[in-house]
A and B are shown apart, each in its own frame.
Chain A
Amino acid sequence: MARTAEKRRFAFSNLSSKRETSLVIFILVLILGVTLRSPRFFSLANFHDILLDSAIVAIASIGQMMVVMTGGIDLSVGSGLALSGMLVGLVYKGGLGLNPFLALLLGGLIGLVLGSINSVLVVKGKIPPIIATLGTMSIYRGLIFLASKGQWVSAHEMPSYFIRLARGTVLGIPNLIFIAGLLYIIFYYFLSHTKTGREVYAVGGNLQAAMVAGINTDKINYIVYSATGFLYGLCGVLWVSRFASAQPDTATGFEFSTVTAIVLGGVSVSGGTGRVTGVLLGAVLSSMIENALNVTQTNPFWKLAIQGIVILIAVAMDQIVRRRKKTKVVREQ
């Protein structure tokens, strides 16, 4: 009995020291602060916009999180997203009336191929992930120019049912948020409750130990890069539908948005730790910061700097909270 109580207390203190708790507090403080400055920020419609805006980056960030957890990084996220989106856009431009959900699947499969190429370079080619994906980042971007001949696919060249994909709802929930939610549930289950999912953590935590323990590290690498590709492939289709346009420079630098989301979400850049719940909050927070700067009509020349400062504060606050907690625990002992 005493043991379970102790266990429970441990679980509780573990929860309160979680990254998510400090993130939620930070988000609430941010909402309060911005609302005081600009009351219009605090409205259902605006929070709806923020969630919609964060959906795509949230989906791609699941992949980036898994890659970073294994000690790697995927810099080809933006290019791969744009290439998948452009190819699907070109299918529509070519006059093929694809069902939007098949289009989503097609984009995912294209992404899967791109991600697999990354995984082969990393596993078979033994190229450090940052270099391998730096290379494919440029290659994928180049392929977009080749495929599109530098042209855009414009709204009038896409069927209206495809443009409505990003605008539609399922059970009253916008499609984008619904798809993101579904993927978060799937990957939450995968990472927390399956053997392979736990192995992803093991590989990033301590590669040598994982190998000694008999984990097939190559298999894990294949899985995380391919899954990332699949996810950004989906994102590409959603992006093109949302903005009703595919252009060769779509999502340039988008990989950094995913890195921002995962760092805010408490994923350690040296690998081993991270949770999808944190990443989801990180993605929402970064969209919220941008939205808040726009709604408060902040001077455009300050926006980028403020965005950076807020991100640093969020991470620093978390570090301070955690250090306090740690010393407290030590004292109690």
Chain B
Amino acid sequence: MMKKRLLVVGILLLTLVMAFPAYAQDFTIAMVVKGAGNPFFEACRRGGEEAAAELGFNFIFQAPATPTSEGQIELIDALIAQQVDAILVSANDPDALVPVLRRAMDRGITVVAFDSGVAPAGRHLFLNQADMELIGRMQVQMIAEMIDYEGEIAILSATSTMANQNVWISWMLQELTKPEYEKMELVGIVYGDDLREKSYNEALGLFRSRPNLRGIISPTTVGLAATARAIEDQGLSGKVALTGLGLPSEMAEYIRNGTSEAIALWNPIDLGYVSSYMAHAMLTGAIKGEAGEIVNVGRMGEREIVADGSGGLEVLLGAPFVFDINNIDEWADVY
């Protein structure tokens, strides 16, 4: 009888000893991005892996084959079934992912959105690459410098439903109402859907329909590179200025030959890195995910959780980085 009891207690203890470290350390954090095969998200992945190596959690990277919300919903469903501890997500649509992410949160999974956010109801925290307002205004300032604050400009965006592009564009419109831009006119917003051929053709359409066009802002990397190519093919280098948000590797050619003087982007490695740190801090209980808390984000230092203005909470990464002829060489091979 005594022996049996001892055995039972022993087994229980052993189970506890074996189970506890697994519970305490082996968090699994999954990153779900917009689409597969995008170097931007590959860089985010590297940041996540870097954080995983420093903090010792399991890191899973998932991407739908095509950039759709449906593909992301399937992946997130599978992650819920796998009982991961946290999901980091860059959404293809701010609202479409809310139901599935709510289900994840109900099951105790921590949800941190990054890059392209989801509505506050579908996440605990959002890592904002930089102030959306600052990014939007900055691109108008950049194009204005290039065209001496005078002439017609157009915007070539990704799809018409992309959350981040649309918010940036609304801030661009705000910026353009300032008096220093009164000689500039926004003559069109077109959508290349992040497809190279479509973006290229949309750029051609702008050149044809607006022969006096002086500048294009493209806040997306496929659109930016396709527009650069179209400008060169039409012999418009120097006549139509180009700026926007793009990967330095994609734009290196066009920055070196002057088709685009300068572009901006935040560092996607840092995006993956910081969002992983945020999720990990939630899992360990270091933060509860409330406004005013300070979260330690490794080599990036510390960030404060603040209200995002739409009822949710966010952390700001920092100001975007400007790439031009002086620094493109060192960044072209990084991401």
The interface of chain A, by Cβ under 8 A from chain B, is 38, 40-41, 43, 46, 49, 53, 141, 144-145, 148-152, 154-157, 167, 242-245, 247-252, 290-291, 293-297, 300-301
| Residue with the greatest number of chain B CB neighbours at <10 A, chosen from A145, A148, A152, A301 | A152
A145, A149, A249, A300: the one within 8 Å of B160 (CB): A300
Complex: chain A residue closest to B196, CB-CB: A243
Is B249 in the interface zone, CB < 8 Å from A? yes
- A–B pairs, 20, beta carbons within 8 Å: A149-B42, A154-B225, A154-B332, A155-B252, A156-B253, A156-B256, A244-B225, A244-B229, A245-B229, A249-B36, A250-B196, A291-B201, A291-B204, A293-B205, A294-B190, A295-B209, A296-B209, A297-B188, A300-B190, A300-B191
B154 and chain A: residue at smallest CB distance? A297
**Chain B residue contacts of A53, Cβ below 8 A:** 201, 204
Please state if B253 and A295 are interface contacts (CB–CB under 8 Å): no
Chain B residues in the interface with A (C-beta under 8 A): 35-39, 42, 65-67, 160, 188-191, 195-197, 200-202, 204-206, 208-209, 211, 222, 225-226, 229, 233, 247, 249-250, 252-254, 256, 332
Q: How far is the CB of A286 from chain B (nearest CB, A)?
A: 12
* Cβ–Cβ contact A243 & B200, under 8 A: yes
Interfacial chain A residues near B226, Cβ < 8 Å: 243
Inter-subunit contact B204/A40 (CB<8 Å): no
CA distance A151 to B41 in the complex (A): 10
Contact of B202 among A155, A251, A294 (CB under 8 A): A294
Of the candidates B160, B204, B250, B254, which one forms a contact with A49 in the assembled complex, judged by CB atoms under 8 Å apart? B204
Q: Are B208 and A40 in contact (CB under 8 A)?
A: yes
The distance from the CB of A226 to the nearest CB of chain B, in whole angstroms, is 26
B253 with A154: CB separation less than 8 A: yes
- Given A155-B250, A167-B233, A247-B196, CB of A148 within 8 Å of CB of B37: yes
Q: Looking at the complex, which one of A38, A149, A156 makes contact with B209 (CB distance below 8 Å)?
A: A38
Distance in angstroms from A218 CB to nearest chain B CB is 33
Closest to A49 in B: B204
Tell me, in angstroms, the Cα distance from A252 to B200 when the chains sit together: 15
Complex: chain B residue closest to A167, CB-CB: B233
Which A-chain residue is minimally distant from B256 (CB atoms)?
A156
CB of B35 within 8 A of CB of A297, answer: no
**CA–CA, A251 to B200, complex, Å?**
13
List A contacts of B206 (CB < 8 A): 294
Q: B66 to A156, Cβ gap below 8 A?
A: no
Whether B196 and A145, one on each chain, are in contact in the complex, defined by CB atoms closer than 8 angstroms, is: no
Asked if B250 and A294 sit within 8 Å, CB to CB, the answer is no
Known contacts being A40-B211, A150-B39, A243-B197, is A295 close to B249, with CB within 8 Å? no
3 shortest A-B CB distances, which residue pairs? A294-B205, A248-B37, A155-B253
Which chain B positions have C-beta within 8 A of A148? Answer: 37
Q: Given the complex, which residues of A lie within 8 Å of B256, measured CB to CB? A: 156
Question: Chain A contacts of B254 at CB under 8 A?
Answer: 155
Q: Identify A40's interface contact among B195, B200, B209, CB under 8 A.
A: B209
From A43, A156, A296, contact of B332 by CB (8 A): A156
A243-B226, A294-B208 known; A150+B36 contact, CB < 8 A: yes
Q: Please state if A152 and B250 are interface contacts (CB–CB under 8 Å).
A: yes
Q: How many angstroms between the C-alpha atoms of A297 and B225 in the bound complex?
A: 21
CA distance A152 to B201 in the complex (A): 21
Given contacts A38-B209, A150-B38, A247-B38, 20 further A-B contacts (CB under 8 A): A49-B204, A49-B208, A150-B37, A150-B39, A151-B37, A151-B39, A154-B250, A154-B253, A155-B229, A156-B252, A243-B200, A245-B229, A249-B65, A250-B196, A291-B201, A291-B205, A294-B208, A296-B209, A297-B205, A301-B160
Complex contact B201–A245 (CB within 8 A): no
Give the residue name and chain of the B residue nearest to A294 (CB). B205
Asked whether A290 lies within 8 Å of B201 as measured between CB atoms, the reply is: yes
Do A297 and B209 touch (CB < 8 A)? yes
* Interchain CB contact under 8 A, A247 and B37: yes
A294 to B252, CA, bound (A): 28
Cβ B208 vs Cβ A249 within 8 A = no
Q: Which residues on the A side are within 8 Å of B205 (C-beta)?
A: 291, 293-295, 297
Docked Cα-Cα span, A332 to B249, in Å, equals: 68
Contact A244 B201 (CB under 8 A): no
Closest A residue to B226 by beta carbon equals A243
Q: Which residue of A40, A157, A249 is within 8 Å of B37 (Cβ)?
A: A249
Give min CB distance, B15 to chain A, whole Å: 41
Query: A53's closest neighbor in chain B, by CB?
Result: B201
CB distance from A211 to the nearest CB of B (A): 39
Given contacts A156-B252, A244-B229, A245-B225, contact A151 B42 (CB under 8 A): yes
Chain B residue numbers with a CB within 8 Å of A244 are: 225, 229, 253
B37:A145 contact, CB within 8 angstroms: yes
> How far apart are the CA atoms of A143 and B191 in the complex, in Å?
29
B252, A145: Cβ atoms under 8 Å?
no
Contacts of B253 in A (CB 8 A): 154-156, 244
Whether the pair A295, B160 counts as a contact (CB closer than 8 A) is no
